Structure 1
């Protein structure tokens, strides 16, 4: 699609929006479209960077004069290189204030926490890898399911992150924030790496990037196995492969990537604390030895980018083939007793997902002028289609299905149009005005005919940022933005309760709102006034039209009341010497339900919402023989019920890494995870379950423990 065609589409949508908008909204839309469609751009080469302050290991890291908010940034490979990691997705913990945990086996998507959210498996945090979206809507296990187990940390070149709904080019699932992860196009040298650890941990990685007549072929093959500390060995087996052919750079060049990943595992899900206290099971024990799953993901994607003094055009296309089978049991005998009066089969359920995902993103930025001032204008379109051949929920025993609850086929399509104008009004004042319009269409073919149907919805999200400064290498930000998350397509057409475990089976239910609005505000400051130290401080608030709540006996989420979150974040990045990086961040947040309805539930606390987090660490690399990394993470206590009468405990973990270069591209490293062997929880929930021998359901804390202290040794050999 040409830039002029994009402009025409944006104009048509903007015109239709203006018809029903109030005066303030009309002025905003006219401003955004005028900025985006202004003809006769002066070729100024874009907004000049004023007093750019470079902090860290890369030229795009910690920039004053470029950021649109105090809480956005770029993480470089240097920050990641010597950082100890338990799981691949912990790459995201380089984002200040973000926590990654797990409540099941390590083949399943992680739990994420940020900005007062228990994000479940990714509902309000958008993630992309090599330009492809990771979040999956209308997923069998949870809306926005974001499985990053296929990530290879050694290949990550950089990660760009933005918190809050302030960026026009990010749509669904980005109310709390977003991250874009990109791999290297060319490695310094090929290498083979072998890692051995306690409790059956084994990992092998082979990677390189030979030159093919001016093009780079990045290849990687990874294999991982692990049993973990669990009484039931996890028997994790993960195989991962990548081929990426590229030429040029990220700004001027292209790449084509093929990826393939599969995994299988046994899961020790969260268990009742009362079972551990009574000695019925050990701390790493389980109550259903057949929980677990297997998953597969393959993809083909292509990116092209061209940039010169006039502007910057980028294009991204992708196709993804995905499947998941997941067996879980969170309530044990509760549903079986209610259905049959006995506990012969237990409460295991099977969630299945089969889908293909297709998408195309196109954007163009023009560098020019507005009213004689330097300006950048961006237009873009994002199209996505999820062809879900099967999304199913059924009851099972020992992974054998015996009752289907629902089995649906879904076609879900979306198109997002966005425009953004950034103008340098004065040497110490610039603005970013954005507008996004998203349109969704759902087509559900359900096993229960009454729950089949079609639905559609659209939502418009304006954005505004004002940036003052810099003065004395300090810049000030004010941000306002609207965002959203989509709800499960099945919920938009469901009219009868399909769950025979529920007392209201086949009773009428109200369809959910397809798209839920979020509104965010933020005031922030970013400073590099102290040599070598980059600091960012932000006050923020986020209002969400409908909260999603975890349902223990189904392993899924359901819409709930509106909510409001607010908080303060302080992030610091210090390079006292070229060899040493020290970082520390603190995040405090408050999450409450809003409106009159929560009073009926006994309280306004959002269960599981993150309240406090703190992390600090250091990495050392003088490019001589020795390297080191040390990391502390504090995960604060959280309300587990609405009235705050039950709370989780806090956890603090320390990981360490020590490396030694052997020469010729070879090195030896040792990682110690949970260095002080802390007996803490990875995650806690509060809900009702029923164990064998219990006469009735019991409400209580259900926990998944953090893993024991683990030693891992890695040998990397260059060739």
Structure 2
């Protein structure tokens, strides 16, 4: 048998000495294996959200928890409910900025999915970042606007219990879109109290949220609903209206039970898309103006998810089944009158789909050659029935059809992962994943119809050394992949050109390979710190195309970078965090023009939070988003940005509390995002003018929330 490790608590404790329950945890020693495995969860579905701490109570799950001895990478972590509640959120999607190194921006109206940046990627709306909400994959493959599209606007932040993240293609349960990273967001099973919240602020912002948990014999029902209106600072008001709701019925306990979750979302908005810099410099439009006041969209989503879990000693089985319907109509105009001087270049992208999926996972204790270990394995299957289209429009009136397609895309993946605890200072995890995809495209242009299939096998390896002096070292390597749009796999004729046979089909599945070395330490009292060096290469890149409003596959790339994260509990009332990441992205087969447009280079995020035992708090946060190359030769760069936000909460008594959020505290004239491409304004040359197109960050604004609890 493996010799025992030095004596150590089976449940790792945070600096506050409260028990730590960590998602994706690994047992610290064979002696503690059974107890630790019972406190962790198999990967499918993710760990259930923890209740938020009551006023004055120490956080139970979050960045303050000591993960040394529990995880297999320096870039695995979790953000807990108390930390989430103290984050100023201009948009629901900014919950992802709690993940070190991620930047969330917007280039259009508030109802559109956000832009994501991580690890040398402009991830567009989600490609290469896999996002799950309540156990359901949120990336929409073969989407009408962009591959892997993620829209987090349905989220109700007050109901979120935790945000968990992993970076790199090193985890066997993570498949499509997960090579840069994966994030799981979970709602709470039970709210600590019922509440009604009214929030109002600058630019006619108005929001109401209510939620409560009801006891039903031996089960509980948690419900929440949100109404939302925001005009934003734009000359043409966003007039963003949304309605979101959730009902979550839970039966059982951590060892055995089930959960049924129903969610709905409905929204419509007017959009101020990114605009050319020259139009502002010349005085043609205001910085917050638009060149097409009829852009915008509407979207809705309804979902139902069933989860079941069963634990018997060291064995655990999880089952997740989900179904949802989703629809989006998106009107955009990025080139103005470049293609059509008479009617303009507005276009409509539509996507309507029904998705069914089922996942099952199991974990069990093992013994191999006298060495204790853990085996985890599972299957994941999903089918999307998709109707999408691309249309030329003018003021939201359809002029012509570019293409319409009916798509059936199905996939099945299987994975297995084995962890062995070889001795007191070394453990290893080896995994294997296999995926098979099937594409069936029925296009309005017969030449672009057809069937395709593809499979891929992805091995994984993690080696962990230590801990020594509360410090652990990691070596990770693995293969991953992202899928391409089904329409691209059967493309014969490009529908945007009159020529026949000019379409080039893309590979259905694109292989990616990555490696990482890292260190995690808690040697300094109260400080959780990690440092990692990583590398990732991809056989093909997905890039945003401004005049089509879509993504297209390009050449092979490689990326490398460094990440440094720190979370410091300075004392009982003060915490500080500092996260910095730097990366570089290059095409590997493009000669001197090898810069990847839009790829994130540098990001630094920092915060300082003061809190009292009574629940009062003040949080100050800053984020630096460094310049990015905007074209392949590197001759044009975006500007950098630095934004500061303030968040403060005050508990009046046991039933009333108030919260103030201040965004862009310094009122900086920054860009949220920038692109470089050719567009045409009235009177300009027929071929258009190449220019920087930007979407401004919102100016100084205030939001005040009053909450009644019961």
The alpha carbon displacement at 1:310 in A equals 2.9
Q: Is the 8 A contact 2:61 2:78 kept in 1?
A: no
Aligned to 1:711: 702
Does residue 350 of the first structure (1) align with residue 354 of the second (2)? no
Higher mean alpha-carbon deviation, 288-297 vs 369-378, is at: 369-378
Aligned to 2:267: 263
Structure 1 250/386 Cα, relative in aligned 2: closer, same or farther at 3 Å? farther
Q: Is the 8 A contact 1:561 1:594 kept in 2?
A: yes
Aligned to 1:591: 585
Deviations 1:563-602 (A, max 9, x none): 000000000011122333211100000000002xx12xx5
For residues 409-420 of structure 1, the aligned pairs below 5 Å read 409-420=406-417
Q: Is the 8 A contact 1:100 1:110 kept in 2?
A: yes
Q: Is the 8 A contact 2:61 2:79 kept in 1?
A: no
Aligned to 1:685: 675
C-alpha separation between the residues in 1 aligned to 2:309 and 2:558?
Answer: 39
Aligned to 2:27: none
Structure 1 46/542 Cα, relative in aligned 2: closer, same or farther at 3 Å? farther
Q: Is the 8 A contact 1:47 1:376 kept in 2?
A: no
Q: Is the 8 A contact 2:375 2:418 kept in 1?
A: yes
C-alpha separation between the residues in 2 aligned to 1:491 and 1:46?
Answer: 49
Structure 1 618/307 Cα, relative in aligned 2: closer, same or farther at 3 Å? farther
Q: Is the 8 A contact 1:463 1:480 kept in 2?
A: yes
Does residue 223 of the first structure (1) align with residue 227 of the second (2)? yes
Specify which of 202, 206, 211 is matched with residue 206 of structure 2.
202
C-alpha separation between the residues in 1 aligned to 2:187 and 2:617?
Answer: 23
C-alpha separation between the residues in 1 aligned to 2:256 and 2:640?
Answer: 47
Does residue 400 of the first structure (1) align with residue 397 of the second (2)? yes
Q: Which runs of 5+ in 1 are unaligned?
A: 1-40, 50-55, 337-342
Specify which of 638, 647, 667 is matched with residue 648 of structure 1.
638
C-alpha separation between the residues in 1 aligned to 2:554 and 2:186?
Answer: 35
Aligned to 1:4: none
Q: Is the 8 A contact 1:625 1:662 kept in 2?
A: no
The alpha carbon displacement at 1:59 in A equals 4.9
Specify which of 564, 569, 574 is matched with residue 563 of structure 2.
569
Q: Is the 8 A contact 1:527 1:534 kept in 2?
A: yes
Aligned to 2:77: 73
C-alpha separation between the residues in 2 aligned to 1:96 and 1:212?
Answer: 39
C-alpha separation between the residues in 1 aligned to 2:702 and 2:532?
Answer: 37
Specify which of 504, 515, 528 is matched with residue 510 of structure 1.
504
Q: Is the 8 A contact 1:44 1:368 kept in 2?
A: no
Q: Is the 8 A contact 1:42 1:368 kept in 2?
A: no
Aligned to 2:663: 673
C-alpha separation between the residues in 2 aligned to 1:612 and 1:410?
Answer: 38
Structure 1 633/311 Cα, relative in aligned 2: closer, same or farther at 3 Å? same
Structure 1 578/369 Cα, relative in aligned 2: closer, same or farther at 3 Å? farther
Aligned to 2:19: none
Higher mean alpha-carbon deviation, 135-144 vs 370-379, is at: 370-379
C-alpha separation between the residues in 2 aligned to 1:560 and 1:446?
Answer: 23
Q: Which runs of 5+ in 2 are unaligned?
A: 1-29, 39-57
Aligned to 2:110: 106
Does residue 519 of the first structure (1) align with residue 513 of the second (2)? yes
The alpha carbon displacement at 1:43 in A equals 12
Specify which of 276, 291, 295 is matched with residue 287 of structure 1.
291
For residues 532-681 of structure 1, the aligned pairs below 5 Å read 532-595=526-589, 598-599=590-591, 603-624=593-614, 626-681=616-671
Does residue 469 of the first structure (1) align with residue 469 of the second (2)? no
The alpha carbon displacement at 1:372 in A equals 1.5
Does residue 489 of the first structure (1) align with residue 486 of the second (2)? yes
C-alpha separation between the residues in 1 aligned to 2:662 and 2:350?
Answer: 36
Specify which of 693, 699, 706 is matched with residue 702 of structure 1.
693
Q: Aligned with 2:34: secondary structure?
A: coil
C-alpha separation between the residues in 1 aligned to 2:102 and 2:89?
Answer: 14
Structure 1 533/493 Cα, relative in aligned 2: closer, same or farther at 3 Å? same
Q: Is the 8 A contact 2:61 2:80 kept in 1?
A: no
Aligned to 1:329: 333
C-alpha separation between the residues in 2 aligned to 1:574 and 1:250?
Answer: 30
Does residue 45 of the first structure (1) align with residue 34 of the second (2)? yes
Deviations 1:548-571 (A, max 9, x none): 111001110100010000000000
Q: Is the 8 A contact 1:62 1:73 kept in 2?
A: no
Structure 1 170/250 Cα, relative in aligned 2: closer, same or farther at 3 Å? farther
Q: Is the 8 A contact 2:348 2:391 kept in 1?
A: yes
The alpha carbon displacement at 1:445 in A equals 0.3
Does residue 381 of the first structure (1) align with residue 375 of the second (2)? no
For residues 143-292 of structure 1, the aligned pairs below 5 Å read 143-249=147-253, 252-292=256-296
The alpha carbon displacement at 1:254 in A equals 1.6
Does residue 438 of the first structure (1) align with residue 440 of the second (2)? no
The alpha carbon displacement at 1:160 in A equals 1.2
- After superposition, the CA RMSD in angstroms is 1.7
Aligned to 2:143: 139
Deviations 1:639-680 (A, max 9, x none): 001111100000000000111101123201111100000100
C-alpha separation between the residues in 1 aligned to 2:90 and 2:66?
Answer: 26
Q: Is the 8 A contact 1:46 1:367 kept in 2?
A: no
C-alpha separation between the residues in 2 aligned to 1:579 and 1:192?
Answer: 28
Higher mean alpha-carbon deviation, 506-515 vs 378-387, is at: 506-515
Deviations 1:83-140 (A, max 9, x none): 1110001000010000000000010000000000000000010000011110000000
Q: Aligned with 2:279: secondary structure?
A: helix
Aligned to 2:304: 300
Higher mean alpha-carbon deviation, 207-216 vs 144-153, is at: 207-216
Higher mean alpha-carbon deviation, 110-119 vs 581-590, is at: 581-590
Q: Aligned with 2:84: secondary structure?
A: helix
Structure 1 236/43 Cα, relative in aligned 2: closer, same or farther at 3 Å? closer
Structure 1 662/642 Cα, relative in aligned 2: closer, same or farther at 3 Å? same
Aligned length: 660
Q: Is the 8 A contact 2:259 2:306 kept in 1?
A: yes
C-alpha separation between the residues in 1 aligned to 2:388 and 2:620?
Answer: 42
The alpha carbon displacement at 1:715 in A equals 0.1
Q: Aligned with 1:512: secondary structure?
A: coil
Q: Aligned with 1:45: secondary structure?
A: helix
The alpha carbon displacement at 1:694 in A equals 0.7
